[in-house]
Amino acid sequence: MHFLHRSLPRRTLLRGAGAALALPRLDAMAAPPAQRFLAFYVPNGMAMEYWSPKTEGRGYALTPILEPLAPFRDRMLVLSGIRANWNYIHAGASGSFLTGTARGGRNEIEIIADVSMDQLLARHFARQTQLGSLEMAIDPPANAGACTGNLSCVYTHTLSWKSATQPLPMEWNPRAVFEKLFGDAGTTDTRARMARMRQHKSILDSVNEKLTSLKRELGAADQTKVDAYTEALRDVERRIERAEKMSAGLPEMPQPEGAPASFEEHVTLMLDLQLLAFQSDLTRVISFMLGKEQSARPYPQIGVPEAHHPLSHHENVPELIAHMSKINRYHTEIFAKYLARLRATPDGDGSLLDHTTILYGSGISNSDRHSGENLPLLLLGAVDGGRHLHFRDKPSIANLLLTLMNRLGVPVERLGGSTGMIDL
């Protein structure tokens, strides 16, 4: 696995015979490349007949849905036999994909899951990047009301949970994502961004001075509240300072006006922003939903005029399953183009693809039955690929998430309903 690299201190000395000599700059003295994580979610399950390889190990044949990923075979693990922790129609599919939660709410106002993997990583990387994480989607959010099984729409519209009761909204508007990454200066241009950052810093300095004066007049309880607020301001200051140090070298990109009407243009723009965020180290953790669960999007551009969700309930009709597989393959084609861009973007001693662990897949396998068995999952990027692994003991996705956390150098004892790690 290419997850961790060992580096020598820049000031390493060789001592002998009473003298000390500084080593020349060696490759091993370079700082280890940043490790990143991307969750790439596709909705409504999979046409498993067109997804699952028939053999295991390194000699497996790519299936029709996986064929677009052929250029990345050596950086790809196909995982079979992993089950969902919480399998409840569509809510459990996306609700447990990154949380590994074993249960959720029981009605549209009870919202329960667990802290998601991306947010655990975000906590770890938060002091090294401007943003702990990005949560992105193509479909507008619905964070109220019932969407599936009389449960809250939250479950079908997000992968990311900051706590067991705090789901995070997925941002679908590229303009809002741009402003979160680069501010509202209208461009990634360094000079405009830095001018806005200096203005924000000046405002923060003024606010901090007033807070210090105010605290002298408050009781102990109010002082505690002000201290918490001040800490939040310090976090903003830290991010501004981080941005100032990393201000050079951003590719030029204008601020998007909003979400394009075309699905392809919208997806491309969102993936452009993801690439920029990784390339400029603005964040190291991204969760992305190519579609929400129960998405009814049709795909006439590939000869599938039927709405995706109704089509996923194909009742095992071969012609309908074949149409479903076209959507699934179209999604891997989009994904493959993004992988090519990650591989073409230099990063340290390799590329962004080399230093990014990517989890691709869905929280449902057989969509007609809402099955949570044998989930369609891939690991790509910073992995020892070229293999199809079939787990016959049916470990949970929570165990997979726990394993990935440890391999990314952020070990945790438990994640959701995990019971242990799996062998990759």
Closest CA to 37 of 250, 399, 342, 247: 342
Q: How high is the pLDDT of residue 12?
A: 45
Q: For residue 31, what pLDDT is reported?
A: 67
With a cut of 50, which residues of the chain have pLDDT below it?
Answer: 1-29
Instruction: Specify the pLDDT at position 257.
Output: 83
- C-alpha dihedral sign at 301, 322, 147, 376: negative
CATH code, 37-180+256-407? 3.40.720
**Residue 96 to residues 84, 104, 146, 215, Cα–Cα distance (Å):** 7, 9, 18, 43
Q: Where are the beta strands (DSSP E) in 293-361?
A: 298-299, 304-307, 346-347, 350-351, 356-361
pLDDT score recorded for residue 32 = 78
Helix axes 397-407 and 117-125, enclosed angle (nearest 10): 20
Cα distances from 114 to residues 41, 100, 129, 240, 420, in angstroms, run: 18, 7, 24, 31, 17
d(CA 135, CA 320): 32
The predicted pLDDT at position 396 comes to 97
Q: Tens of pLDDT along 271-289?
A: 999 999 999 899 999 999 9
Residues in the chain: 424
* Residues 9-51 pLDDT 10s: 444 444 444 444 444 444 444 567 899 999 999 999 999 999 9
Kindly give, in sequence order, each residue whose CB lies less than 8 Å from that of residue 194, ignoring residues fewer than 6 positions away. Answer: 244, 247
